[in-house]
Amino acid sequence: MSEVHTRPVPTNFAANALISAEDYERMYRQSVDNPEAFWAQQAKDFLQWDRPFAQVLEEDMYKGHAAWFADGRLNVTVNCIDRHLTTRGEQTAILWEGDDPANSQAISYRILHEKVCRLANLMKSRGVKKGDRICLYMPMIPEAAYAMLACARIGAVHSVVFGGFSPTSLKDRILDSDCRLVITADEAVRGGKRVPLKANVDKALAECPNVHTAIVVKHTGTAVDWDSKRDIWYGDLIPQMEPDCPPEAMGAEDPLFILYTSGSTGKPKGVLHTTAGYLLMATMTFKYTFDYREGEVFWCTADVGWITGHSYIVYGPLCAGATSLMFEGVPTYPDASRFWQVVDKHQVNIFYTAPTAIRALMGAGDDFVKSTKRNSLRLLGTVGEPINPEAWEWYFSVVGDERCPIVDTWWQTETGAHMITPLPGAMPLKPGSATRPFFGVQPALLDSEGQEIIGEGEGSLVIKNSWPSMIRGVYGNRQRMLDTYFSSFPGYYFTGDGARRDGEGDYWITGRIDDVLNVSGHRLGTAEIESALVLHGDTAEAAVVGYPHDIKGQGIYAFVMLKSGCQPSDTLKCELIDLCSKEIGPIAKPDFIQWAPALPKTRSGKIMRRILRKIACNELDNLGDISTLADPSAVDALIDHRENC
């Protein structure tokens, strides 16, 4: 590999860091040598309990079972809001920046308390009880955070569906977890463009007979269709609700939320997280990874529809009593300096984004950055996909003026919080490496036989032990959780990622080793896209693979075999692309469609994706062994077609 340009811990950080190199070594050792004592102490330090726990951990990794602090009771919103009221009631909890630079709003912890309680009471008035599932399909507006927290207030389980998903995806998710109430808005606005959320909800709910209520926030004020039995306006009813709502005392292992994510097979899975362990690890990682100091402004640019938004816009920062910036817009609107304009406007101290955004902004040129000051920034972070060293260096030198460490945080929807990440005062930074495990996390690399690789090497990334924010289930399908995460390598949690460990013990994530794509930091299953493509009457079969894409990290490459008698055409390509957008959402549109006379299959009928990936990457002289194919000439035909398209 190319030479690594290691950056020592910046001296300003080494001197004042919350966690020094020595602290990290000592605390990490303690966390793996005596996890129960370590985590019991953290849980007492970071969380406020209604009833203290006596049990710390019960785990059986062979069965995918973990229970943390199980006999303790607490409420997430007491931790994220109520306990701050005496000391920081007037401090801004959520700093909202609209898509239009003229719109912003500061919501104090006191106001947040009132908004959350009123919405919780509105949900109660519609019959919502502890354990009920509530679907949120929201723009990036403060009401999205109110809605998540209002669910947690009364023990309802939220399932946030990203506003970019289609009505069909929304319907599938509502039905899968049997949500009875939906919270949405008339429209979302991103980069000046409107997204018809309410109209999408109307389409989805036409096939969801159990949904009795849709609470609708008026955001843009556009006219929307109305079902007077089902739909209610948030703004009309909230003022009539009581401004206080007693928090439901929740068991530590009671569900907090479900979040759907793509896997290698079938439809997206509803990843289930529970109350105490999730909140503890979101908060602790927030504080230590970001070296957070009282009074700082933290900005995570993710959407609340993804796990990053859950853990680092809402739960982690608010539980830590921070000011969390929530941004409705996109990095390039009105122009490519928007992120840095917002940093200056709100004096952001800690900034957390995805490599895809960094690459896109890097492409727009340095002037957009240099026209801003950014002198409030102290720390930068990335998440969602591997960051290429070139983008890392640009982020470090142009955005951070070589002053701000970058934390490259590796984690997943299923892990709930950071798992492998630098702690900025404790570790030298290596562009492209997520470096070391967080406290209590014991990663390992396994070879193809399932044997642990010791020292330097590359293999499948697994985790040996449970951690507090580990996935607790796949909603409604325990077996699917076991099959996906706990059976490839019995006794370990399998991440689906490959990784390399260098001679100094630092981890380099190499990307997914299953049939999951990472497009602009968004996870998509190849199977989901293939299912959409075969819905077209002209498609006989389809196979989707990823290929390297300069901005998105990975692009979507679809091989489509048509039914006999059907003719390839540009119109047909457009129809297929539209179908993916309609079935899943615009993020699932193929970047490239190649017509395939046949797909390369083994004699047992399995598509050989390894070969398709090579063709998509244009590595035609490196196809590997094709002797096991039922019909090796299928490969030649694909290569001919690639060259002609």
Interface with ligand PRX (CB under 6 A), residue total: 22
Residues from 302 through 341 that contact ligand PRX (CB under 6 A):
307-308
539 annotated as a binding-site residue: no
Q: Is 385 in the site for ligand PRX (CB under 6 A)?
A: yes
| C-beta of residue 330 within 8 angstroms of C-beta of residue 336 | no
* CA distances from residue 150 to 76, 117, 380, 459 in whole angstroms, order as listed: 10, 6, 31, 42
> Is 523 assigned a ligand-binding role in the annotation?
yes
Span of 313-321, 479-487, 511-519, 607-615 interacting with ligand PRX by CB under 6 A: 511-519
Residue 466 as a binder of ligand PRX (CB under 6 A): the answer is no
* Interface segment toward ligand PRX; rule CB under 6 A; list 80-88, 98-106, 195-203, 494-502: 494-502
Please pick, from the candidates 408, 506, 528, 530, the single residue that binds ligand PRX as defined by CB under 6 A. 408
Place of tokens 């080793």: 513
Nearer to ligand PRX, 78 or 383 (CB): 383
Q: How far apart are CA 642 and CA 596, in angstroms?
A: 9
Q: Choose the stretch contacting ligand PRX; rule: CB under 6 A; options: 21-29, 389-397, 404-412, 613-621.
A: 404-412
Q: Is 193 annotated as a binding residue?
A: yes
Phi, psi dihedrals of residue 137, rounded to the nearest 5° = -135, 85
**Complex with ligand PRX: residue 247 or 416, whichever CB lies closer:** 416
Binding of residue 496 to ligand PRX (CB under 6 A): yes
Q: Which of 200, 518, 526, 539 contacts ligand PRX by CB under 6 A?
A: 518
CB-wise, 303 or 530, nearer to ligand PRX?
303
Is residue 413 within the footprint of ligand PRX (CB under 6 A)?
yes
| Shortest distance in whole angstroms from residue 385 CB to ligand PRX | 5
The Cα angle at residue 387 between residues 385 and 391, in degrees rounded to 5: 140
Is 301 among the residues that bind ligand PRX (CB under 6 A)?
Answer: no
Q: What's the min distance (Å) between Cβ of 382 and ligand PRX? A: 6
Mark residues 55-74: x for contact with ligand PRX by CB under 6 A, - for none.
--------------------
Considering beta carbons, is residue 241 or 256 the nearer one to ligand PRX? Answer: 256
Site for ligand PRX in 184-223 (CB under 6 A): none
Number of H helices, E strands in the chain: 22, 30
- How far from 39 is each of 100, 316, 469, 475, 598, CA to CA, in Å? 43, 17, 12, 26, 55
Show contacts with ligand PRX in window 234-273 (CB under 6 A). Answer: 261
User: Which sign, positive or negative, has the C-alpha torsion 278, 284, 288, 291?
Assistant: positive
377 binds ligand PRX (CB under 6 A): no
What is the distance in angstroms between the CA of the first residue and the CA of the last residue of the chain? 33
For ligand PRX, the closer CB: 77 or 518? 518
Tell me: is residue 105 an annotated ligand-binding position.
no
Q: Which is nearer to ligand PRX, 372 or 442 (CB)?
A: 442
Smallest gap, in angstroms, from Cβ of residue 508 to ligand PRX? 9
Distance CA 221, CA 504 (A): 57
Which residue spans within 148-304 are E strands per DSSP?
Answer: 157-160, 181-185, 188-190, 193-195, 213-217, 231-233, 250-251, 255-261, 269-274, 297-300
Note the Cα 258 to chain centre separation in Å: 12
What is the smallest separation between the CB atom of 551 and ligand PRX, expressed in angstroms? 16
How far, CA to CA in Å, does 547 sit from each of 511, 519, 553, 610?
12, 10, 8, 12
Q: Is 383 in the site for ligand PRX (CB under 6 A)?
A: yes
The reply to whether 191 sits in an annotated binding site is yes
Query: Is 413 annotated among the ligand-binding residues?
Result: yes
407 scored as a contact of ligand PRX (CB under 6 A): no
Burial label for 165, CB within 10 Å (0-12, 13-18, 19+), is buried
Identify whether the C-beta of residue 304 lies closer than 8 Å to the C-beta of residue 164: no
Q: Of 308 and 460, which has the nearer Cβ to ligand PRX?
A: 308
Comparison of 148 and 434: residue with beta carbon closer to ligand PRX: 434
Return left, alpha or beta for 577; rule: phi > 0 is left, psi -120 to 50 is alpha, else beta. alpha
Take residue 542 and report the two structure tokens written for it.
Answer: 């389809």
Should residue 484 be labelled a site residue for ligand PRX when binding is judged by CB under 6 A? Answer: no
CA distance 66 to 471: 9
Please tell me whether residue 353 binds ligand PRX under the rule CB under 6 A: no
Contact predicate 552/573, CB 8 Å: no
Q: Which of 409, 465, 469, 520 binds ligand PRX (CB under 6 A)?
A: 409
Report how far residue 331's alpha carbon sits from residue 360's, in angstroms, rounded to the nearest whole number.
Answer: 9
Please say whether the beta carbons of 306 and 69 come within 8 A.
no
Beta strands 133-137 and 157-160: pairing type? parallel
Which of positions 419-448 make contact with ligand PRX (CB under 6 A)? 434
SS (H, E, C) 138-162: CCCCHHHHHHHHHHHHHCCEEEECC
The annotated binding site for ATP is made up of: 384-386, 408-413, 497, 512, 523
- Contact footprint for ligand PRX (CB under 6 A): 261, 307-308, 383-386, 408-413, 434, 495-497, 509, 511-512, 518, 523
The annotated binding site for Mg(2+) is made up of: 534, 536
The annotated binding site is made up of: 190-193, 308, 384-386, 408-413, 497, 512, 520, 523, 534, 536
